[in-house]
Structure 1
Amino acid sequence: MNPARRCSALLSQMCISSLEGSTTRRALSPVPSAIPPVEIRCHYHGWENIGRSLKSGGASTRGTVSVSPMGSNGSRLYSAVAQTLNSNTLDQTDENLDHKNLTELDPDQLLRECEEALRRRPARPHRDLIYPQDAPPCRHKLGPSIRIMQWNILAQALGEGKDGFIRCPLEALNWSERKYLILEEILTHRPDIVCLQEVDHYHDTFQPIMASLGYHGSFLAKPWSPCLDVEQNNGPDGCALFYSRSRFSLQTTLHLRLSAMMLPTNQVAIVQILNCQLTSKQLCVAVTHLKARSGWERVRSAQGANLLQSLRSITSRSRGSNVRSSGTNPLVVCGDFNAEPSEDVYRRFRSSPLGLDSAYKLLSADRQTEPPYTTWKIRPTGESCSTLDYIWYTHDSLSVDCLLDIPTEEQIGPDRLPSFHYPSDHLSLLCDISFKEAP
């Protein structure tokens, strides 16, 4: 039996659509479309005008989009998109809380399946875990490290239908192989918490696989995803947050729609309060994806301010409700901010009363400089090499033990990202953090 069939056999044991007919060698979970194209009615607001006039956002208009499954992958009805998002905090029940009937996958076996399925591709360049030099010693660590991954994985509909990566072969963007490469990256590092952006294959790929690997997942789609503009899309993209069920239990999940200048925008965030089962400590984790493109700096700054305000309220409430709290609730914020360190939203986070610092500055010699890039792509408009992705943490209550290094220009290659060995136009970020024990 070829590797894809073995992997498909594993996936067929989970609560997803059953396989029918023959399976191609490189397909991870080819699910036939038992669901016809779905007509989703969405309300969308005039948020695109916020950055131009800073005053718009008048009456909503109504659009109708015909959504079909991408390729051979089936998908659920994206009911979250069908409703108008009128409030800043979205009160939604967390998905898939009952995992009793899921068959657990062996991560080592699944990793081998990924590697076998990708054997025709160039070997993925190795990235080392770097332990920051000259870091002040932390003598009061509490419990083992927590591994956190941050990654904009590139929405499939955007990669194939809108982004126009002129140096990336179309075959490299094929979902039937690209998903293996994304899973291989996650399985190689085995993070305890995974924060993803541009996820448009949550229900048919990431949620069932990650659940069977021992993760709990939460997903929040953008109110009006650009993926829906692409023919043969797989539904809207959004943010996803996964945590290891063996390491954490869930206290609270909040789904936020970010605002700018008191107007709702198309960007969202997921915030969760997690209880660490090894230390009985709480950890607040947030994942977000701010507005893209040049010219929208003021909107990103306002979105960041809105998120910080929400996080202050959430962490203060959780401290008050937890008698075990020492008064400082550790916080980690991961995201594609679409903002260089020179932007105002970066300065907002760095100077926030929450006491946040950027983990990846620790890779630099002066411990004050971000990496030279976290995304590097070539589009028809030209080449773009930028630092846009961050892992923020409360430096008074958390310490960074190590970080995954940034590939060199030579390792990335002349065609930049994405490519046959990098599945996204963004690099994954990963660090190990530890709780600081109160002196």
Structure 2
Amino acid sequence: MEKFAHLRHLEITNQCELVVQLNMVFQDIHIDEEIHSVRNIEDTLGSLRTHTRNKLIKIITDKSAETKDQSEISTYNIPILFKRKLKHSKVLSDDISLKTLLLEDLGKTVVVIFDQEFKLLVNPPLIKSINLPSILYATFSVQPLKFYGLFTDKSSSEFSWFRSKDKITWEKVGSAYDYPISEDDLGYYLKVVCIPVSQKKIRGSPVEIISPRPVQKFPELPRCPFEVRHEYTKDLLQTKDFRFVTYNILSNRYTELNDTFSYCPLEALAIDYRKQLILKELVGYNADIICLQEVDNREFNTYFNTKLADEGYISKYHRKGNNLTEGLLCAMKKSRYKLLSYQQLVYANAIHTKKMFAPLYSLLKKEQSLKNLFMKQSTSLQTTVLKCKEVKRIVVIGNTHLYYHPDATTVRLIQAYMATMYLSYVKERMEQEWKNFVVDVIFCGDFNSSPGGLVYKFLCEGTIPRDDEFHLYFSGNAQWNFTHKLNFISACGTPKYTNYTNDFKSCLDYIFIQRGEIEVKRVIPLPEEELEKYVGLPNEVYPSDHIALVCDLQFKQN
């Protein structure tokens, strides 16, 4: 049976790793180990051979501590060779760099350790992580979670699903990335086996994962506190009035395989449970415009997009940073609005690619540690432009979820400032294009900023005082002025809570509207006293750790 050795380029650390599964007997010592040798990509083949030999000596030493003379072991001849097998075998020179080795076609190269030969595969696919949800409900589909591979093309990789009552005898039930769980699967454990395949069609070693619990029956949904809020939103608004919702719905990315919400039963934390409540809550608000944060890419494609369309909405979605598995969604009633445009601005990308941000980027470059932190973030601004069908108004909607870290106020301020710059730019552009229309800006989302903080102060006051600590980051740049002229007010004020967990409870979410252009007719009451009955959210009746902000707004007369 052919044996393989794997040589991979570890791009993040710029290293080269050799992996060999060695199974042999050496002087009465049984070796059954996976050997990992790692060197810098600029090192030589000789360095890799020496490192691999030292690894083997360490293994033999550990296994023979009581029976062998340790000084004798260090002198053992452990032959390790790299050979090109053509018509005549040729031993590769120790002077070859590992970078060169990775770039060459090594289809005929073998690694020889003692008398065992291993065919060398360069950058073969490898599954680094794969999991299944903690809870599996019948009638919902399932797919691997946190699937991450090196040199792996997911679309080419092979997936097989099996079920078993006892985790001993397995029956094959599926052969795709997704598996639709049926009522027939109740009480069965599920197992997925993945064979990774690279874009070059190289096949890697298979991996498998078994569900931690058997498939369960989906429970009957309880009556939830948001249904009390629905008593205020039974009516459909018309002409100048419209209902607006912003809501961080808590991504499955942050709940699965994470004990942050350990106070919530796993059955209620499962996305297949929570998304039912989220949809029920959203539909009951009869909103005209909905902005969501932390929407899972998969759940948008397989659930929310279709379900919201059934309710008369057009939904536009952007993955956060264009690369994460969660992101921003804006949905609007197609009976009341025409969608003019939608796009996403990734702050870290835009700051050095868009001309309008060039002075800000020059300033940021003078603070290297701050710049490094800022540029690492995937934080984004989703911008949606709507034309009202009943009145001559254009609405520019900014939807964002600012960087979360409690000690990163300055990063959030720069992100908020960039958002106001860009929203102002879009507003001016729309005013030029739609000269007979009034153009309004609404800026909403999860700002990860409490009332009275600098972000809130900046957005509502339009500036940051010169004596504020924020400016300490920019010493010597007194000419810089962080301002905007959007004249924002918080439509829902500053509720006691919009985020409620066991270790943090505050107001982080807002709907900012332009004073004098739009007025607040009604804010749908938040369940502040009700929340205080709980350790934290989510739970069986609250599907997120945030509370939706809902308000009825009205365009002022032209």
Q: TM over 0.5: same fold?
A: yes
The structural deviation recorded for 1:255 is 1.3
Aligned to 1:121: 222
Alignment of 1:100-249 (within 5 A): 119-124=220-225, 126-128=227-229, 143-162=239-258, 164-200=260-296, 201-223=299-321, 236-249=325-338
Letter in 2 for 1:433: L
The structural deviation recorded for 1:40 is 8.3
Change in CA separation of 1:36 and 1:128 when aligned onto 2, cut-off 3 Å? closer
Equivalents in 2 of 1:305, 1:240: separation in Å? Answer: 21
Aligned to 2:81: none
The structural deviation recorded for 1:128 is 4.0
The structural deviation recorded for 1:72 is 5.0
Change in CA separation of 1:325 and 1:180 when aligned onto 2, cut-off 3 Å? same
Aligned to 1:344: 454
The structural deviation recorded for 1:142 is 9.3
Aligned to 2:498: 374
Letter in 2 for 1:172: A
Aligned to 1:296: 408
Change in CA separation of 1:173 and 1:359 when aligned onto 2, cut-off 3 Å? same
Aligned to 1:84: none
SS at match of 1:148: strand
Q: Is the 8 A contact 2:142 2:178 kept in 1?
A: no
Letter in 1 for 2:443: V
* Larger RCO, structures 1/2 (Cα 8 Å, 6+ apart): 1
2:490 to 343, 358, 365: 358
Q: Is the 8 A contact 2:226 2:281 kept in 1?
A: no
Change in CA separation of 1:222 and 1:291 when aligned onto 2, cut-off 3 Å? same
Change in CA separation of 1:26 and 1:432 when aligned onto 2, cut-off 3 Å? farther
Equivalents in 2 of 1:280, 1:341: separation in Å? Answer: 34
Equivalents in 1 of 2:542, 2:514: separation in Å? Answer: 30
Alignment of 1:308-347 (within 5 A): 308-326=420-438, 329-347=439-457
Letter in 2 for 1:296: A
Letter in 1 for 2:397: V
Letter in 2 for 1:211: A
- Once the two structures are aligned, what percentage of the paired residues are identical? 27
Change in CA separation of 1:432 and 1:121 when aligned onto 2, cut-off 3 Å? same
Q: Is the 8 A contact 1:168 1:415 kept in 2?
A: no
Q: Which runs of 5+ in 2 are unaligned?
A: 1-134, 160-176, 182-217, 352-359, 362-373, 463-484
SS at match of 1:330: strand
Q: Is the 8 A contact 1:142 1:436 kept in 2?
A: no
SS at match of 2:395: strand
1:286 to 395, 398, 401: 398
Q: Is the 8 A contact 2:250 2:544 kept in 1?
A: yes
SS at match of 1:205: helix
Letter in 1 for 2:250: L
Change in CA separation of 1:420 and 1:391 when aligned onto 2, cut-off 3 Å? same
Letter in 2 for 1:215: Y
Letter in 1 for 2:276: Y
2:253 aligned with 1:253: no
Equivalents in 1 of 2:458, 2:178: separation in Å? Answer: 39
Alignment of 1:388-399 (within 5 A): 388-399=508-519
TM-score, L = length of structure 2? 0.52
Output the aligned Cα RMSD: 3.3
SS at match of 1:318: helix
Q: Which runs of 5+ in 1 are unaligned?
A: 1-23, 42-62, 74-116, 132-140, 229-235, 362-369
Q: Deviations over 1:181-201 (max 9, x none)?
A: 000101111111110000012
The structural deviation recorded for 1:220 is 1.1
Equivalents in 2 of 1:162, 1:303: separation in Å? Answer: 28
Letter in 1 for 2:342: T
Equivalents in 1 of 2:149, 2:332: separation in Å? Answer: 30
Q: Is the 8 A contact 2:244 2:290 kept in 1?
A: yes
The structural deviation recorded for 1:37 is 10
Aligned to 1:96: none
The structural deviation recorded for 1:118 is 6.2
Q: Deviations over 1:269-328 (max 9, x none)?
A: 1111111101131111111100002111110001000101001111011001102124xx
Aligned length, in residue pairs: 317
SS at match of 1:346: helix
Equivalents in 2 of 1:314, 1:248: separation in Å? Answer: 18
Larger strand proportion of the pair: 2
Equivalents in 1 of 2:406, 2:152: separation in Å? Answer: 29
Equivalents in 1 of 2:406, 2:510: separation in Å? Answer: 18
